[in-house]
Amino acid sequence: MIKFPISLFIDSNIFDSSKYDFSSNGVLNLLIDYVNEKKIKLYISHIVEGEVREHLNKKAAHLCNAINKEREEHFKKISENLVMESSISHIFNRINKKALKEELNLVFDNFLLNSKAIILDSKSVDCNQIVNDYFNYTLPFENKESKRNEFPDALMVSKLKMDFGIKCPLYIVSNDKGFCKSFSNIEGFKTFDKLKDIFDIINQQQKSIYETVVQYINSEKAFKIIGDKIKDKILDNNNIEIDGNDYDRKGYMNGYDFINTEIVKASILSVKFLSMDKIVESSISLTIESHCNIFAECSYYDDENKIWDSEDKDYIYLESTYINEEHEPIFDCEVSLKYNDDENCLFVEKVDFSLILDQSTRVNRSDIFKDKLVFDVNKYARNIEDDVKELEWALGNNYDK
């Protein structure tokens, strides 16, 4: 049995992986629920706090630059005055970078307040020991160039080892493998790479319902029901992005900028239980892993046949080319279940996921050869001649005059 509340430390990369989703539906808000239920006592370090704020500021700046740049591009082709006096003017309001940074940091402040996060400082850390660890390649320092600047991690590791251990166990969530290795085989520390792993451990304490749910998810019945819901949502592909470009490690790209995409076929290869995220009375939230096979028909403009109008600064001729893409993504799905305790039955209410198809999911690509429209010139000429004769007959004497 686990003694609640458990002490939990989360690294800054967990905020990154959650995309800083502090909304009511986000995983970070779910963390607050467990804090309020006195099942989790949350810790972060002042280094994590600083890194999160730095990342939020950078994302705010990037977002502002991208949106304002797109705004200017549109106003090269249509009057800004016209748009700003229209019903869609609010969409094109210029974004204030400083104000957005302050707003995002305020959201983070509210998270720290609502989660009752305890912020650890580094005042009592032995810096001499950290220097020795650096020269002895002791984790988190490693004999790699990329790992020689891990002083912030080293401070956190030292602080956590000082404050926690056998008498005060600590759960650590970080997807930094080097950071997690620093606690390997040390009693009193357990490391995980996802917040939902912690939620699953908590819900395992409700053994009966937990085992019932896992057994159900692994059944053929659940596979059919959940698979059909995933498939239907994929085929209704309004929110699924398909990226036709390939990128190398330096960011260079080649491929296709798709103008239209349509998912024409989808099949579910497998589903796998990952974690039970929340149990609230008869409602159960969990995460599964889905593996799918998807075929999409995509079109793009053929660069070799474009004709550019230098006066209008636009293309006067664009020819579309079509290709098929086959993808096999493996992605997480959030599943909502209803549990009837009297009948010991489970019902699937909703399946939700976000999915991007790109070079990491693509397994095949092939050209589509569409029939071209060919005109019969002689027939076309005869049709024109017939039309002229009908017009002459209709005009009668007026035509002769």
Output the pLDDT for position 320: 80
Output the pLDDT for position 380: 44
Output the pLDDT for position 15: 97
Considering the domain boundaries, does residue 329 fall inside one? Answer: yes
Residue in this structure with the two tokens 């705004």, named with its chain if needed: 71
356 three-state secondary structure: strand
Show which of 147, 171, 203 is a domain's final residue: 203
Residue type at position 74: H
User: Same structural domain for residues 152 and 297?
Assistant: no
Considering the domain boundaries, does residue 253 fall inside one? Answer: yes
User: Same structural domain for residues 115 and 152?
Assistant: yes
For 365-384, b where at least 16 C-beta lie within 10 A, e where not — what string? eeeeeeeeeeeeeeeeeeee
- What is the Cα Rg of the chain in Å? 30
Considering the domain boundaries, does residue 374 fall inside one? Answer: no
DSSP H or E segment with residue 42? strand 40-45
User: Same structural domain for residues 95 and 237?
Assistant: no
**Spatial distance between the Cα atoms of 58 and 52, rounded to a whole number of angstroms:** 10
Which pairing describes strands 241-242 and 170-173: parallel, antiparallel, or unpaired? unpaired
Q: Of 164, 147, 155, whose CA–CA distance to 131 is shortest?
A: 155
**Spatial distance between the Cα atoms of 291 and 363, rounded to a whole number of angstroms:** 13
| Residues in CB range of 225: below 8 A, 6 or more apart | 348
**Spatial distance between the Cα atoms of 240 and 354, rounded to a whole number of angstroms:** 7
**Spatial distance between the Cα atoms of 273 and 346, rounded to a whole number of angstroms:** 15
Considering the domain boundaries, does residue 397 fall inside one? Answer: no
Domain span holding position 305: 217-367
- Residue 34, both tokens: 């467990």
Angle between helices 207-217 and 220-235 (to 10 degrees): 70
Output the pLDDT for position 75: 87
How many domains does the structure of the chain reveal? Answer: 2
Output the pLDDT for position 236: 87
User: Same structural domain for residues 159 and 185?
Assistant: yes
Show which of 153, 181, 203 is a domain's final residue: 203
User: Same structural domain for residues 266 and 321?
Assistant: yes
Predicted model pTM: 0.80
| Residues in CB range of 170: below 8 A, 6 or more apart | 7, 8, 9, 43, 160, 164, 188, 189, 190
User: Same structural domain for residues 148 and 254?
Assistant: no
User: Same structural domain for residues 199 and 289?
Assistant: no
Mean pLDDT per block of 10 residues along the chain (401 residues) reads: 94 96 93 97 94 95 92 88 89 91 97 97 70 59 52 83 94 94 94 97 94 93 95 86 89 85 95 95 94 94 67 66 95 93 81 94 85 42 56 56 45
User: Same structural domain for residues 246 and 144?
Assistant: no
User: What DSSP line would sit under 277-332, residue for residue?
Assistant: EEEETTEEEEEEEEEEEEEEEEEEE-GGG-EEETTTTEEEE--EEEEEEEE--EEE
User: Same structural domain for residues 249 and 310?
Assistant: yes
Considering the domain boundaries, does residue 179 fall inside one? Answer: yes
**Spatial distance between the Cα atoms of 179 and 52, rounded to a whole number of angstroms:** 17
User: Same structural domain for residues 197 and 242?
Assistant: no
What spatial distance separates the first Cα and last Cα of the chain, rounded to whole Å? Answer: 106
With 0-12 CB in 10 A as exposed, 13-18 as middle and 19+ as buried, what is 88?
exposed
User: Same structural domain for residues 277 and 163?
Assistant: no
Output the pLDDT for position 342: 65
Considering the domain boundaries, does residue 386 fall inside one? Answer: no
Return the sign of the alpha-carbon dihedral for residues 18, 349, 227, 366. Answer: negative
Considering the domain boundaries, does residue 349 fall inside one? Answer: yes
Report the CATH number at residue 28. 3.40.50.1010
Output the pLDDT for position 376: 41
With 0-12 CB in 10 A as exposed, 13-18 as middle and 19+ as buried, what is 351?
buried
Show which of 181, 203, 225 is a domain's final residue: 203
Considering the domain boundaries, does residue 263 fall inside one? Answer: yes
